[in-house]
Structure 1
Amino acid sequence: MPNALVTGANRGLGLALVRALLTRGDRVIAACRHPGKANDLNRLTGEHPGRLHVLPLDLTDPKSHHELARELPLVLGNDAGEGRIDLLINNAGVLHSGERFGKVTAANLEDSFRTNAMGPFLLTQALAPLLADDAKVANITSELGSIAGVTRFGTPSYNISKAALNMASVLLKHALADRRITVLALHPGWVRTEMGGNEATLPPAQSAESLLRVIDGASLADSGKYLDWNGEPLPW
């Protein structure tokens, strides 16, 4: 049974990814900041006994990364092949809306970088010993992280941090290549979530299913690519 770990799993796209992974038969570790308040996840735990584990993770705190790494072998078992992560989806992210030039704050930039770029990079580094050889790492980025695609001034702290996540994805590709681990930077589309808003065009379940198809179809030759939810390449 494949083991998948999803961050930011308590709502939106993260929750949809958890549901899709459970439906196809994976064992899932759902990480979020406040497991006790993750009502949807906790209901799913009851519906999938033994296959869904909800664990705490503060993505902005490296100590929390190492605490998660210590907890995982206890959850997954220590036997070879049982205690390894086959798929890590770095989904958790933050977007500070309403930013205007001249009013962008250092606090927003720092929070965005810590959550959207530094967090996924350091978490992957911390969990690397627990990744299976031939595993896959999917970093949920955004088309707004494309430097070539910028056409206006908007959501600067988000865009800057997602561009940094794209660079982190390519660096991780090289760091993990000797273990044949595939690293992807994936744009999920404009998803109808709390972050995406009600006018977004893509339901979370559809985005999740499409992303998993892209991940499943990716090989080591695709490692380091920047793709959308349909597997189409995006300009850096």
Structure 2
Amino acid sequence: MDARHSLVTGANRGLGLEFTRQLLARGDRVIATCRHPGKATALNALAGEHPGRLHVLPLDVSDPKSIAALVSELPLLDDGGDATLDLLVNCAGVLHSGERFGSVAAATLDDSFRTNAMGPLLLTQALAPRLADNARVANLSSVLGSIASVGRFGTPSYNLSKAAQNMATALLARALQPRGIVVLALHPGWARTDMGGDNATVAVADAVAGLLRVIDAAGTGDSGSFQDWRGEPLPW
């Protein structure tokens, strides 16, 4: 069986880095992106361990010009450049802490929407011609984007942008449905990343392993759904 081709955004740390590790471990060829590859020490070390199977490329998902540059660079890769993508993991995200009602800033909202909602939508749209029929698109969402689950006023720019990302997932699922491409909104649990903090309850490796099981098991009927890392449905 030929190796599958995957692309992961936000791959320099946390969930994105662990996705890259586990995809390589299962035999995939991986394109891993982040805003500053030169500073991505762990990711570059991983590339050294997997020569020819891991390509590290720059990408700022909040910048349409950066997305266009990535798409134009893919055919230039030594191997796999002309291959279709079997999996796209939209993992890059931003959370601004310390927001309080009465002082939510427009600039913070704008940055959150551009990174968390606009980025996955525009990147998936740009990469659609390279996605294989029956491919998978995994959008890393959060239960904090669930309107039905709101219990307090907290991290508003993050919550709003993740709710918008969930709508993007539903819309992309419809747009790509004729090609059998499955698009999922996935909550990784409260994972112990820089964003989740040390008190989080789910190990990063366990979260990603669970998410990959959910992605691999998903059928066309699951496209456009919102699930957690164990495959449990979440309310919109």
TM bucket (normalised to shorter chain) is: over 0.9
- Output the CA distance in 2 between the equivalents of 1:86 and 1:121: 17
Candidates 50, 62, 84, aligned match of 1:60 = 62
Aligned to 1:170: 170
Q: Which residue is 1:33 aligned to?
A: 35
Give TM-score scaled by structure 2 length: 0.97
Q: Distance in 2 between matches of 1:74 and 1:86?
A: 19
Q: Which residue of 1 aligns with 2:145?
A: 145
From 5, 12, 18, the equivalent of 2:14 is: 12
The one-character-per-residue Cα deviations of 1:92-114 (angstroms, maximum 9, x if unpaired) are 00001111000100011000000
Aligned length: 233
Q: Secondary structure at the match of 2:135?
A: strand
Match of 2:4 among 2, 5, 15: 2
Q: State TM-score, norm by structure 1.
A: 0.97
Identity of aligned residues (%): 69
Question: How many Å separate the matches in 2 of 1:200 and 1:72?
Answer: 36
**How many angstroms does 1:74 deviate by?**
2.2
- 1:192 partner SS: coil
Distance 2:87 2:234 in 1: 22
Unpaired runs of 5+ residues, structure 1, are none
Task: For 2:160 and 2:15, locate their aligned partners in 1 and report how far apart those are by CA, in whole Å.
Answer: 21
- The alpha carbon displacement at 1:78 in A equals 5.6
Deviations 1:2-36 (A, max 9, x none): 00000000001110110010111100100000111
Structure 2: stretches of 5+ with no match in the other structure? none
Question: SS of the counterpart of 1:214?
Answer: helix
After superposition, the C-alpha distances for 1:29-69 in whole angstroms (9 at most, x for unaligned) are: 00000111111111111111111000000111001111111
Displaced runs of 4+ in structure 1, greater than 6 A?
none
**Residue 148 of structure 1 aligns to a residue in which SS?**
helix
Q: Residue type matched to 1:171 in 2?
A: L
Q: 1:73 Cα deviation (Å)?
A: 2.1
Q: What secondary structure does 2:8 align onto?
A: strand
Alignment of 1:183-194 (within 5 A): 183-194=183-194
RMSD in angstroms over aligned alpha carbons? 0.9
| SS, match of residue 166 in structure 2 | helix
2:157 is matched with which residue? 157
CA distance 1:143–1:220, change in 2 (3 Å): same
